[in-house]
Structure 1
Amino acid sequence: MQQESPLFADFCTLLQTLSSQRGTEEKKKRLRRFIHTWRARYDDFLPAMRLLLPQIDKNRYRLKESKLAKAYIDSLGLGRDSEDAYELLKWKLPSSSKYSKSSGDFSAVAFEIIRSRSTVTEATRTVHQTVEMLDEINAASGNEKRQSELFKFAVTHYTAEEHRWLIRMILKDLKIGMSESSVFDVYHPQAKELYSVTSDLKKVCEKLQDPFARIGKSTIQLFHPFKPQLGMKQVPKNVKTVAHQGRFYIEEKVDGERAQMHYEKQSGKFKWFSRKATDYTDLYGSSTDTLDKLSGQIAGCLSADSFILDGELVAYDPQLDVFLPFGTLKSSALRKFHVYNREYPSHHSIVLVFDIVYCNGVSLIDHPMEQRIEVLQAVLTERRGCLNFIPRREGTTFEHIVRALDEATTNRQEGIVVKNPGSVYEPGARNHSWVKVKPDYIDELRDNCDLLVVGADFGTGKRGSKLSQFLLAVRDDREEDGDNPKFATFAWIGTGYTVNELDEFAKIKQHFKPYNPKAQPSWLVHPERSSESPDMIIDYRDSIVVEVKAAEIIYANFYGTGYTLRFPRFARFRTDKSWKDCMTYQDVVNTKREGGHLKFNISSKRPLTQDDFLNYKKKRLAIKTIKRKAGSSLIPNQIGTDSSYITIYTNLFEGINFYVVSGDETSSKGELEKTIKAHGGTYVQSAKNAKYVVAGSNINGNIFLIDHQRQTADVQITFNNTGVRINALVQSQEHDIILPKWILDCVKAQDIIPVTPKYAVFLTSATKEKLRESIDPWGDSYTDQLTEQAMREVFDNIDIIENDASSRLVEDIQRKYFPRAEVPGFLFQRVRALLDFSSIINTNNEPITKSMTEAARNDRLELADLRLRSQGGITFRYLGDDNSKLLSDITHVVVDEANIRNIINLTHAFQGLPQPRFVTSNWITDCLENKSLLDERLYEPRAQAAPMLRKISQLLSL
């Protein structure tokens, strides 16, 4: 009888050999010998194949380096403040300890630490046993206690060398220099082909166990999943790579789930599979007879005997005729179609088809795409809202791609896909015949920034112990000083450069020094407690300028500028420029004020260069200078507060004109004008040229920026004194009117804070429209992190919504998104509970002296009250007859089971009304624990009270 499998240590020796050998062919020779020996001695190669290719194994451990570090600290019994624990947690940083050579490779750091502590000297575990343990670790995902037990077992049964490879398998990166294709080629010449059409390692190992076996040409089969063809993520600089006879297809890229639909007319059978071969047939329907699911709805659209379609499953709102976000797909799939009237639910799943790969028993993967599209249109009839063809157009030039992407961006679509009409369909392949283009990574359509390298971080893997991520800065021209310049941090880059370009960065490595946030150099402007602080910094005089590509400028408080770049990527070195030529802070501010997007005019057919950008800046400064000179002729009483003696500290408000109508109790009009001037702004005595109008103590009342229906709220202000001027400005609808607090908060943050509702007296329609994109109706930002103070302010802005309206809203949400469960956070939304406080409150609604028992009962009811209301319930307290008119709406009465006499009195109070459920507070506790409403009969007051209550209820019903 053959053994089950070899020792895992022998398998680790193979991996170490493959990792150290150079050249793919040499690696293949060594792996081929191992597989030959395995086939001769053992039966099933699947366990070894899963360990060789962890990246495509179905296990999803959900463990990264930080969690693994904590698991090993616990398993090895390391002190949290010990040197070894620090090395595990800070594995990326270069170390001066005995583990210095392992820095940047977590598995190597862990190996060194385990080796110095492990008592396991002899390998005993087999490959098969190791796979079983990894399966258990995967099954315990989310169960920290069980995972801890498994890691403790591993520490006492595996050697340090074995742990090195266990860790790499869990992280799904063996680092042996062999791709999935190379491993398949060694195992069997048809392994890669078979896996592409089956997505099943088990089938590959079973069918190709004999190296001399041949299974004929592997092709896709009906009702068997295959790996779909994928697109490249890049910009087609040369359209010839995707063109056939000078033309190409441009398709809309949809934010859905890739799916393949299998259908056979004779049996009426359907099968639905995801990109990773997950069977979704239960969700989308198994036959033409399941009319309440998608398969039954599209049966009339199909005219072929059998086929396999490639497409996307998306959530769809028929009322708005729009596709919904990806996160709503599963809940949409659960919603059933109406069988008899064939009406659509409020939202549901649909299939968007873009290719056909099998029809009437014939595989079409070797036919060109343009022919497959002809077949697709011949055998399918589009039924909008159920089965749609993906939007497609033809193009011939790069400008067609640019315009299509611009339209997709305008329509807030994910992007486009450019396809070669003459290409065949290659299952599992990712090649240049399909190219995905998104705004996020199209470099040719973005402006470039010249930035100075001021800091760096160490990389991982091949970049371990190397500076591979770089902190960039702009010249801070808020305080011009040619002899002592300052630089404000702006963004990080970690992508875009080649290995050779990374070596170019190494030429300045000797100038880097460790960064200490508490001893920051005077030339660097960077928040001391920033989460984006570097490991090392470099003096600006020893550094270099790099050109960076990016999508847009966004707010970011953890950089010295208060801004950063979205999707920054390295473009090239600017050896022709020094720190004096890099981008300035004011350049950043100007670009952000103009929308933050770094775009160029498509008709120019070239990106906007940095020189264009700087020339534009000079023109803007010249215009500002002319305006300032013209303003100096105003007479003194028009200028307002004398500002000739005021020192300018910052350029925070540079280029912004304020019209201060009045101050408030914190700052007078004059003090506000001085503050504006001290921070680079300008104040005027007319609203005509002002960007902001400031009004304080003369305004009584409030204006809601946006009401709950997203409509413009009516102006509700009570004026006095200067109210006439404010009223006129409000009526003109041309100026934003803000509170003085906004100016003071901007100065405090040294940043231009967005004007949210808490700062608004009145906002124009244009400003409101812009704000609706970034904040909700109550002033809560969609992107900024919510602080405790901000949360309090948001709550203060929230109107009290009528209970009935609130309930209807929650019920509508439940119908749409939670048809089979309670809405999270609204478990008790249908509960209107009366809490029995009557025994501890007198007729004057004043607390009376309580015994210890009564105090405990009171505490239990108070806790029940909080728990009910926190989950959407409505509560009342029994205070004589004050709430008698509400008794008919009561659904539950929460009582203390020890107070039987009062339970009877409460029962009498509902005489002639619908009888509520009487429950103890334990019902609330258990409902919360089980996340479901439980049977109230199990929580009636204790046994001796229950029969009495039922008898009284029977008498009352007579």
Structure 2
Amino acid sequence: MPASQKSLDDGAVGGPRHDLQGPVMEEELDEKYPNRPHNKSRTFFFGDLIRLFNSLNSLKKQPSGPRVARAKVGPHGKRGQTSYEMREALIKRFISRWRNDVGTDFYPALRLILPEKDRDRPMYGLKEKAIGRLLVKLLKIGKDSEDGFNLLYWKLPGHTTATRMAGDFAGRCHEVLKKRAMINDDGDMRIEEVNKLLDQLSMAQKEDTQLPIFEQFYHRMNAEELMWLIRIILRQMKIGASEKTILTMWHPNADALFNVSSSLRRVCWELTDPENVLDDEDTGVELMECFQPQLAGFQENSFQRTVERLGVDPDKPEFWIEEKLDGERMQLHMISDDSYPGGKRFGFWSRKAKDYTYLYGSGFEDNHSALTRHIRDAFDPRVNNIILDGEMITWDPETDKIVAFGTLKTAALSEQKNPFQGTGIRPLFRVFDCLFLNDQNITQYILKDRRKALESAVKNVYRRLEVHKYQIAEKSSDIEPALRQIVAEASEGLVLKNPQSRYQLNSRNHDWMKVKPEYMLDFGESLDCVVIGGYYGSGRRGGGLSSFMCGLRVDQNHISAGANPIKCFSFFKVGGGFRAEDYATIRHMTEGKWIDWDRHNPPNDFIELAGGDRQFEKPDVWIKPNDSFVVEVKAASVGPSESFKTNYTLRFPRFKKLRPDKDWQSALSLSEFAILRTKIEQESEQKDFKVEGKRKVAKRMKKSLVAGADSKIKTPYAGPQTKVFEGLNFHVMTDMLHPSKKTKAEIEQIIKANGGDFFAGPTAKENTICIAEKKPVKVASLLKRNNTNIVKPSWIFDAIKQAEIDGPQRPRFLVPFEPVHMFHLLDDMRDSVASSVDDFGDSYTRDITPAELGKLCESMIHPKSSDFTADMLRLKLEERGRGFGEIPGNIFTRCIVRFVPGSKEELASPERGMDFVIGKNRLLFSGGKIVENDDAENITHFVILEEDGDTLKTLRDKLSKRRGPVPRIVKVDWLKESWGEKTLLDEERYAV
């Protein structure tokens, strides 16, 4: 029987596979991959794979490292295995069994072991809540039943047994499923059958087609197998073994081949025999094969330290400074192909291996191209083939400015449809590296030589494809003016590069270093704020409150007549710095006082969130301010935020201590915070510029729009009359063209009927909103001055429509400006406007029309193309107070420590001497840095073993003469207990 006709039960390779376009039959695969391996026997049962996962998981809790291995000495004096070595042995044993019993095609198993790396299967479009709903239907249980509640509200504590699984969705599913499992023994589904159904699930995007697939899994798997299946679907495996370890166990060249191809399928089908190793040239970048690009490391705490990490030659201390672009990392491949009109064929891939050739073009004559049809003159005639690395950004030809990243897909799709419109935003490819040229892989050449190759091969095509500029620097002080310039221009940041470095695939190293205006000078203030909400944790803190929302007390200056005097505005969230005993104290103080948050009936009399009905940052539970407690926190900075009602928030807040001596009325108020903020801003202006704040956030509303109407009103206005524009001034300059036509006079009458005022000039009143949709002389004059925003008339009607929907009983809510509303936009408003919509352009605050929804769906590109790294995610989550700082590998990230040698007696004590050694290792493991000189820059802590009078006196004398922030002197116990609590504890408890 031909392989293509085998059923899944008969063999490992039968049945259809799927790619992004749909099912791919065995005949097609054999034709495309003529040398691909075929397994000789049926694949393992899915349960065999689950046993591997469980075994690897059990080793995650065991200590590892050389010291542990030395302790495990056998009866014959042989060293025992570390947990890492045991993990390797387990994987190697599984692979060996597969080779012997199944065959040489490991792809069916590997795509389940590393589902997040399998780019041949589309995303499922399923998250925890959607899977929870499917299981509720599948099990025929009520939504309000105990198990239904536990599945749908998996982050909250369960009613009974599921409490310990809070925060672990797959674990919660296991608790529910094991009570209703169809089978209790091992399931009878094989790995290849699982893959077939998962392929079908990835194509089924509706609940009624997804449910029958889940039913098949449910009838043939036990509860534990279903739990791991859910983790595979969510791509949240955490099996305790890295991608590199697993690939290397299959073949010594597997990791290298994956880095240059991004394909698990190719790794498995080309590397079947571990004895046959590849040459270096076989693991280099290849034309039309997506590689894993080199990434930039993160900046250090000072410019000097960042430059040192670049590793430049001390005798030739040259490094390059480039602007960090706010776009999507993209690689361009071009080969000579006479079968293509124009003689060249192109391929485009993102950093996550998403193929964008369909969008940016496959050739010079591609009529659906958003880019390639415009870059015929970009390459030297001698270039036969090339691979370029760069950033795809959006450029606005009217303002000659780069536009925010969120508009890139829309710009590309618009350029596809209207390639020569001349005025619309368009994609621009900025190239900063060349990795392959005329059949030669040049990744092993140094950056300076690769740059020469790039400049000789590529010519700029104005605002279509351009070679990214750089400046040469020799000292760290050269960074400051460059960073000041990008801050002034609201750019993304800088990238520092070592020109002597070679290109390292799939590596985030120090040859390239990002410098973003991310960290501001120390806020320098401790704030006493009242807790008004709580969030349940996950993992180790699942089932209990792990982070809290704090608010600012609404004082007499902000309370309106008849309002509840016991009220707070949301201000920030904090989750780092709490010890187990702090959580215990909080539970004792607030027992019985927490109230579940009801989004349909929010406690607006006591707590007010940002976002109106959208309820930004809503907590899981809330507490009345007069029943609550006060915490003392410190933070890196304070900055504007639309996510909190105060319109400000703290960046990187950290719990310092509980304040049982204070009640809610003693906590910080809105008026007190305003005074404090003014003071801090004045002090900051006088301090030196350091690696500070992200891009300065634009003010919520600056000047706006265009207007001016002197026409007589001819038609009475008969539409809705609201107070939505009360207190706002408008200047209408042109008629409305889209989505319907209205004259200036009609627009002015509508503004007046809904509470607004209009004036004849844009400066007649402060903060006048200017309205226009065409470019007559007076609008062109404003555009040339480039000092005011111009809003399209459609915003007026969207604001009125939403006010009419909200009704008079709700507080006035003014729809914020969105990109679709703006005719002209100043740079300092771009971030604010972009934040009003999601990545696809869908409004956060208003109901869109069917026509808008249709356009949105046309331009939508799947989130699989997202260019978000784990480190970026960690920083974002930490910034938003999600408690990521409690991970052991992260808690000391911002600590630069000098360990002060103690007396000989102290160090001679085995126990105390070991405390020093362990403390250093834990600090390094958790992201901290150690310096060996008392005078080193940016030291945050001096750590000592015990209080020693002479040592302390000498140290304090030195610190008294030190310029800048004074480091803290703490006992080594601070490191020990922070490690034990898995969070950075306040230093005052350990100060000496």
Taking structure 1 as reference, are residues 295 and 587 closer, same or farther at Cα in structure 2, changes over 3 Å only? same
Indicate which of 261, 274, 284 corresponds to 2:332.
261
Matched, 1:242 2:321: no
In 1, the alpha carbon distance for the partners of 2:682 and 2:51 equals 52
Check whether the contact 2:771–2:790 (CA below 8 A) recurs between aligned residues: no
Indicate which of 320, 342, 353 corresponds to 1:277.
353
Which residue number in structure 1 is paired with residue 715 of structure 2? none
Greater CA deviation, 361-370 or 702-711? 702-711
Taking structure 1 as reference, are residues 322 and 770 closer, same or farther at Cα in structure 2, changes over 3 Å only? closer
For 1:413, the aligned partner's letter is S
In 1, the alpha carbon distance for the partners of 2:473 and 2:660 equals 40
Matched, 1:20 2:23: no
Indicate which of 604, 612, 619 corresponds to 2:688.
604
- The alpha-carbon deviation at position 417 of structure 1 amounts to 2.7
- The alpha-carbon deviation at position 349 of structure 1 amounts to 3.3
Secondary structure at 1:604's aligned position in 2? coil
Indicate which of 23, 47, 64 corresponds to 2:108.
47
Check whether the contact 1:551–1:597 (CA below 8 A) recurs between aligned residues: no
- The alpha-carbon deviation at position 544 of structure 1 amounts to 3.1
Check whether the contact 2:309–2:510 (CA below 8 A) recurs between aligned residues: yes
TM-score if structure 2 supplies the norm length? 0.58
Indicate which of 172, 189, 195 corresponds to 1:109.
172
In 2, the alpha carbon distance for the partners of 1:18 and 1:27 equals 6
For 1:187, the aligned partner's letter is W
In 2, the alpha carbon distance for the partners of 1:430 and 1:146 equals 41
Check whether the contact 1:111–1:163 (CA below 8 A) recurs between aligned residues: yes
In 2, the alpha carbon distance for the partners of 1:534 and 1:78 equals 24
TM-score if structure 1 supplies the norm length? 0.60
Figure out how many residues of one structure are paired with residues of the other and give that number: 673
Taking structure 1 as reference, are residues 362 and 547 closer, same or farther at Cα in structure 2, changes over 3 Å only? same
Which residue number in structure 2 is paired with residue 60 of structure 1? 123
- The alpha-carbon deviation at position 15 of structure 1 amounts to 0.8
Secondary structure at 1:241's aligned position in 2? helix
Indicate which of 43, 46, 53 corresponds to 1:8.
46
For 1:56, the aligned partner's letter is K
Check whether the contact 1:73–1:79 (CA below 8 A) recurs between aligned residues: yes
In 1, the alpha carbon distance for the partners of 2:669 and 2:474 equals 40
1:208-227 alignment runs, 5 A limit: 208-217=271-280, 218-227=283-292
Secondary structure at 1:313's aligned position in 2? strand
Which residue number in structure 2 is paired with residue 585 of structure 1? 670
1:358-437 alignment runs, 5 A limit: 358-395=436-473, 400-437=478-515
Which residue number in structure 2 is paired with residue 546 of structure 1? 633
Q: Which has the higher contact order (CA 8 A, sep 6+)?
A: 2
Check whether the contact 1:706–1:778 (CA below 8 A) recurs between aligned residues: no
In 2, the alpha carbon distance for the partners of 1:212 and 1:553 equals 59
Matched, 1:84 2:162: no
For 1:381, the aligned partner's letter is K
For 1:31, the aligned partner's letter is I
Check whether the contact 2:368–2:416 (CA below 8 A) recurs between aligned residues: no
Secondary structure at 2:115's aligned position in 1? coil
Taking structure 1 as reference, are residues 587 and 421 closer, same or farther at Cα in structure 2, changes over 3 Å only? farther
- The alpha-carbon deviation at position 80 of structure 1 amounts to 2.1
Check whether the contact 1:199–1:226 (CA below 8 A) recurs between aligned residues: yes
- The alpha-carbon deviation at position 270 of structure 1 amounts to 3.0
- The alpha-carbon deviation at position 152 of structure 1 amounts to 2.3
In 2, the alpha carbon distance for the partners of 1:118 and 1:732 equals 69
Which residue number in structure 1 is paired with residue 607 of structure 2? 526
Which residue number in structure 2 is paired with residue 131 of structure 1? 195
Taking structure 1 as reference, are residues 316 and 518 closer, same or farther at Cα in structure 2, changes over 3 Å only? closer
Q: Give 1 or 2 for the bigger CA radius of gyration.
A: 1
Which residue number in structure 1 is paired with residue 931 of structure 2? none
Indicate which of 262, 284, 287 corresponds to 1:199.
262
Check whether the contact 1:355–1:372 (CA below 8 A) recurs between aligned residues: yes
In 2, the alpha carbon distance for the partners of 1:373 and 1:311 equals 12
- The alpha-carbon deviation at position 167 of structure 1 amounts to 0.9
Secondary structure at 1:78's aligned position in 2? coil
In 2, the alpha carbon distance for the partners of 1:227 and 1:33 equals 29
In 2, the alpha carbon distance for the partners of 1:302 and 1:450 equals 59
Check whether the contact 2:596–2:621 (CA below 8 A) recurs between aligned residues: no
Secondary structure at 1:274's aligned position in 2? strand
- The alpha-carbon deviation at position 31 of structure 1 amounts to 1.5
Cα deviation code 1:596-636 (max 9, x no counterpart)? 98993385246999xxxxxxxxxxxxxxxxxxxxxxxxxxx
Cα deviation code 1:139-189 (max 9, x no counterpart)? 112x22101221222222221111110111111111222222222222222
In 1, the alpha carbon distance for the partners of 2:199 and 2:549 equals 41
Taking structure 1 as reference, are residues 736 and 776 closer, same or farther at Cα in structure 2, changes over 3 Å only? same
Check whether the contact 2:164–2:542 (CA below 8 A) recurs between aligned residues: no
In 2, the alpha carbon distance for the partners of 1:102 and 1:461 equals 8
Q: Tell me, which stretches of 5 or more residues in structure 1 are unaligned?
A: 610-696, 719-725, 739-753, 758-764, 799-805, 807-823, 826-868, 873-926, 932-958
Taking structure 1 as reference, are residues 526 and 776 closer, same or farther at Cα in structure 2, changes over 3 Å only? farther
Secondary structure at 1:426's aligned position in 2? coil
Which residue number in structure 2 is paired with residue 493 of structure 1? 573
Taking structure 1 as reference, are residues 265 and 587 closer, same or farther at Cα in structure 2, changes over 3 Å only? farther
1:312-327 alignment runs, 5 A limit: 312-324=391-403, 325-327=407-409
Which residue number in structure 2 is paired with residue 535 of structure 1? 621
1:653-692 alignment runs, 5 A limit: none
Check whether the contact 2:154–2:172 (CA below 8 A) recurs between aligned residues: yes
- The alpha-carbon deviation at position 51 of structure 1 amounts to 0.9
Q: Tell me, which stretches of 5 or more residues in structure 2 are unaligned?
A: 1-38, 63-82, 694-722, 738-743, 750-756, 773-780, 816-822, 824-840, 843-848, 859-992
Taking structure 1 as reference, are residues 360 and 372 closer, same or farther at Cα in structure 2, changes over 3 Å only? same
Secondary structure at 1:210's aligned position in 2? coil
1:876-915 alignment runs, 5 A limit: none
Secondary structure at 2:635's aligned position in 1? strand
- The alpha-carbon deviation at position 364 of structure 1 amounts to 2.0
For 1:28, the aligned partner's letter is E
Check whether the contact 1:778–1:794 (CA below 8 A) recurs between aligned residues: no
In 1, the alpha carbon distance for the partners of 2:514 and 2:143 equals 46
Taking structure 1 as reference, are residues 468 and 265 closer, same or farther at Cα in structure 2, changes over 3 Å only? same
In 2, the alpha carbon distance for the partners of 1:449 and 1:775 equals 41
Secondary structure at 1:111's aligned position in 2? helix
- The alpha-carbon deviation at position 248 of structure 1 amounts to 3.2
Secondary structure at 2:333's aligned position in 1? strand
In 2, the alpha carbon distance for the partners of 1:447 and 1:150 equals 56
Which residue number in structure 2 is paired with residue 328 of structure 1? 410
Which residue number in structure 2 is paired with residue 33 of structure 1? 93
In 1, the alpha carbon distance for the partners of 2:806 and 2:394 equals 34
Cα deviation code 1:5-39 (max 9, x no counterpart)? 11111211211111111333322221211111111
Cα deviation code 1:676-709 (max 9, x no counterpart)? xxxxxxxxxxxxxxxxxxxxx9xx9997444447
In 2, the alpha carbon distance for the partners of 1:287 and 1:132 equals 35
Which residue number in structure 1 is paired with residue 932 of structure 2? none
Secondary structure at 1:25's aligned position in 2? helix
In 2, the alpha carbon distance for the partners of 1:89 and 1:379 equals 56
Q: Please, what is the CA RMSD of the aligned residues? A: 5.3
For 1:3, the aligned partner's letter is S
Secondary structure at 1:259's aligned position in 2? strand
For 2:635, the aligned partner's letter is V
